[in-house]
Amino acid sequence: MFVPETAHLDPETPNISRIYDYYLGGAFNLPVDRERADVIKSVLPGMEMLARFNRGFLRRSVAFMVEQGVTQFLDLGSGLPTAGNTHEVAHALDPAAKVVYVDYEPVAVALGERILRDNPNAVMVGADARRPDDLFAHPEVRRVLDPDRPLGVLMTGVMVFVGDHEDPTGLMKAYRDLCAPGSYIALSHLTDERADPETKVQVHAMVEAYKGVIEQLYVRDLAGVRALFDGMALVEPGVTLMPEWRPRPGPDIPTGSPAHHLGYAAVGRVG
């Protein structure tokens, strides 16, 4: 059983990364997280499946990047480094790959540091992904990653926290400019435009149910997600529903769940 160990880990307040860990079947969550997660699931029954589709895309995109020769990864808005996250996939294929996880939430960072403390090739950094220049100047990022070589950047389930007033396309451009040619950026995003009417209502109830844990979730359509890849070449098959991006045999095979239609995903190549 997971027992919180530090002052950061308030057992009375639900937490986004631990709720997400619970959806993924992880062990790093508390009763207060499970209670809130169950409320969210009661308004959007496909929530757990949505989290699994999202993580499935992340896993396939990391494997794809390793196959393209990428040996270093920057995972923005990573949540906890558990439940099949980036370093687990990358290190299964290339044990020497370097992985920097980034989250702005103190709980995720404290837990991540603890989980990775004995791992020489993966670190957790506390930083705001909306400040790419500060992030690339961060001592741990500079120590672990070589910006002159191709990077695999993961932005799965994180642009949903960035509103249009924060210029998400400008943010993507900034990352594109900071990455060496041959880098890849993988992104997944919540959408409701392909949902049936009942599920669409449920998505909006879910966004409401998250308030109090996080400020706001933003839902985008295909044009909005495509715009984030301006200036990059999209890897085949382009922007797809999350489970349809290069599916592999196994648990990621698309199901009949309404959650199938609730996320877009794509990988872009820099340079």
Of 141 and 158, nearer to ligand SAM (C-beta) is 158
- 3 state SS of 232: coil
Of 66 and 124, nearer to ligand SAM (C-beta) is 124
CB atoms within 10 A of CB 96: 10
Number of residues that bind ligand SAM (CB under 6 A): 21
Out of 36, 55, 59, 189, name the contact with ligand SAM by CB under 6 A. Answer: 55
165 DSSP 8-state letter: G
Out of 9, 14, 17, 49, name the contact with ligand SAM by CB under 6 A. Answer: 17
Consecutive H or E run containing 240: strand 240-241
80 DSSP 8-state letter: -
Out of 18, 36, 41, 130, name the contact with ligand SAM by CB under 6 A. Answer: 130
List CB contacts of 221: < 8 A, sequence separation 6 or more.
191, 193
In the chain, which ranges are continuous DSSP H helix?
A: 16-23, 31-43, 47-67, 86-93, 106-116, 132-137, 139-144, 168-178, 197-210, 222-227
The span from the CA of 33 to the CA of 20, in Å, is: 9
Q: Does 82 bind ligand SAM (CB under 6 A)?
A: no
Out of 53, 64, 73, 161, name the contact with ligand SAM by CB under 6 A. Answer: 161
Out of 9, 16, 70, 97, name the contact with ligand SAM by CB under 6 A. Answer: 16
Of 62 and 179, nearer to ligand SAM (C-beta) is 62
Question: What string marks each residue from 178 to 217 as x (binds ligand SAM by CB under 6 A) or -?
Answer: ----------------------------------------
Q: How far is the CB of 128 from ligand SAM (least distance, A)?
A: 5
Out of 58, 115, 153, 235, name the contact with ligand SAM by CB under 6 A. Answer: 58
Please identify the residue of the shown chain whose CB is closest to the bound ligand SAM.
Answer: 77
Window 104-123: residues binding ligand SAM (CB under 6 A):
104-105, 108
155 DSSP 8-state letter: E
The span from the CA of 269 to the CA of 271, in Å, is: 7
CB atoms within 10 A of CB 224: 18
The span from the CA of 215 to the CA of 222, in Å, is: 23
Q: What region, left, alpha or beta, does residue 190 occupy, with left being phi > 0 and alpha being psi -120 to 50 degrees?
A: beta
Q: Does 252 bind ligand SAM (CB under 6 A)?
A: no
Largest CA distance in the chain: 49
Q: How far is the CB of 50 from ligand SAM (least distance, A)?
A: 10
Q: Does 102 bind ligand SAM (CB under 6 A)?
A: yes
Q: Which residues bind ligand SAM (CB under 6 A)?
A: 16-17, 20, 54-55, 58, 77-79, 102-105, 108, 128-130, 156-158, 161
